[in-house]
Copies of this chain bind each other. A is one copy, B any other.
Amino acid sequence: MPVKNGKQYIDRINAQTVPVWYKGKLVTGNRSDHLAFAGLMETQAKMYDMQHDPLLAAKMTYASPVDGKPVGLSFLPPKSVDDLERRRISINLWSNMHHGFLGRSPDYMNTAIMAFYTAADLLSDLSPQYAENLKNYYAYCRDNDITLSHAFIQPHASRISGQIDETKDAIAAKIVDRTPDGLIINGAFMMATQGATCDEIFVYPSPSPAPFDDENPFAFAFAVPNDLPGISMICRDTYAADSRYNYPLSSRYEEMDNIVIFDHVLVPHERVFFAGDEEMSSRLFSGSHFHIYAGHQVLCRYIAKTEFILGTIQLLTETLDQVSEAHVIEKTARILAGLETLKALAIAAETNAIPDGRGFLLPAPKPLMAANILYPKLYPDMIDTMQLLASSGMIMIPQEEEFQSDVAAHLNTYLKGTDSTPLERTALFRLIWELGSGSFGGRQTQFERFFFGNSITVSNRLYAAYSKDQTYRELVRSFIAGAE
């Protein structure tokens, strides 16, 4: 099956049997009818439908090398600047649909699996079969438009245990057995965002050091359908509500986060990308340029989100008659400068793209790493600006039900805007509230801040990329030496 449509997406998820726990109960019935998933699934269904829209299909798909049928452009391994541009255009189309609020928009994991594919040959050092498995899995995802989540991070207790516990009782995720049919995996993973609204899950923990010499049971990567026996998922409380008026963002874009439990799950051999080799774990990861390829997708998303917040702030200051106040000009201009920066970094990433040495064209790493340093500051700063401008007006906001009740007349008298009806004005403030004060917005801020790791981790990527380069040190050394 080539690119799927929205209905197919929903049908597949609804057909899943993986146990999903919500507030202590198993989710039953169609997942697409459950408050915690319905809005998001509707949004993603629309996104998949775009791939079939005659006006957009050419911009969103390319011909599969297997059978020539249309597959999603975010699966395309770029070999030219034109490929990078086509990838960007298709990613933008989706980003402008969800305005950047979906951190796990399908193109994110499509890009990820593509990235690992470009490095598959590294696995041949361990076994040609591993390389084959990864290539096959990539082709399977691409040709079946698999919606994928990932599990990279383990709970704190698992990580501690993996580092210090040399016994069999270590609770860090590990291979507990190997059978003719596959590996038996036990452990838990945090933060599989959208776990329950995806088809499959890609598992690739940072391995703890091996407790004994020969093989490291903590080192492995694989991908499996959610439905395998022994897998279960636990949800946090949902921030979604069903009124699009009252909760314009969470009713559309709330992505559930999950803890995923692997309780002695049998992972078939053909789905294993490597196992037992700690060194390969980091070699494949860095060799895949995951952070660079994904960083390109993420930057497109950043831009869409920034534009949306900018528009919101522009409408806010118009409504408050403050467009010409000095502090509004200064605060807004910093967001504008941020938007220009993101757009320029995207241009630079493509303009300075470099061959990866394996036949693919890698977007320039440094501008993308810079974006990953800047946005975790820019995003909260924008929200901060919005909060400061909205001030106490962000606190007391009625809901749509009031406008249909006996007090509607009072609201229509007292809540009108200069150029907007009371209902429109209130809708704007509900959006601002969700973004700047509600639980959905709270998670967005935290999510953007730690998207690719904490500040040190993200800083260190760019720092390391510069550390071997003596250019600027040499320049100052020769200046000091008076050579000028």
Chain A residues close to B by CB (< 8 Å): 21, 23-25, 97, 99, 153, 155-158, 160, 171, 188, 190-191, 232, 234, 236-237, 244-246, 248, 252, 257-259, 261, 263, 307-308, 310-312, 314-315, 318, 320-321, 323, 326-327, 329-330, 332-334, 336-337, 340-341, 343-345, 347-348, 351-352, 366-367, 369-370, 373-374, 380, 384, 387-388, 391-407, 410-411, 413-418, 424, 427-428, 431, 436-439, 441-443, 445-447, 449-450, 454-456, 458-460, 462-463, 466-467, 471-477, 479-480, 482, 484
Contact = CB atoms under 8 A, between A and B. Distances in A.
Given A336-B466, A391-B450, A234 B442 contact: no
A333 B191 contact: no
Most chain B CB atoms below 10 A, which of A245, A308, A344, A417: A344
A384 B334 CA distance: 19
Given A23-B399, A24-B399, A188-B410, 12 more contacts: A157-B414, A171-B414, A191-B395, A252-B484, A261-B414, A336-B462, A337-B370, A387-B449, A388-B455, A392-B450, A436-B442, A438-B439
Contacts of A160: 321, 418
B474 A311 contact: yes
A352 B403 CA distance: 47
Most chain B CB atoms below 10 A, which of A157, A188, A263, A396: A396
A312 to B, nearest CB: 5
30 contacts: A21-B406, A24-B401, A97-B484, A157-B414, A157-B417, A158-B414, A191-B392, A232-B410, A236-B398, A245-B482, A311-B476, A312-B476, A315-B477, A332-B463, A333-B373, A333-B460, A333-B463, A336-B373, A337-B374, A343-B348, A347-B348, A348-B348, A351-B351, A380-B384, A387-B446, A391-B450, A427-B480, A428-B476, A438-B439, A439-B442
A397 B399 CA distance: 28
A424 B314 CA distance: 44
A387 B406 CA distance: 42
Nearest to A312: B476
A398 B238 CA distance: 11
A425 to B, nearest CB: 9
Contacts of A407: 21, 232, 234, 261
Main secondary structure of the interface of A (DSSP, over half): helix
Given A401-B23, A407-B234, A258 B156 contact: no
A449 B394 CA distance: 12
Contact of A314 (B401, B405, B415, B472): B472
A237 B242 CA distance: 14
Contacts of A329: 456, 459-460, 463
Contacts of A348: 340, 343-344, 347-348
Given A310-B472, A311-B472, A447-B395, A347 B341 contact: no
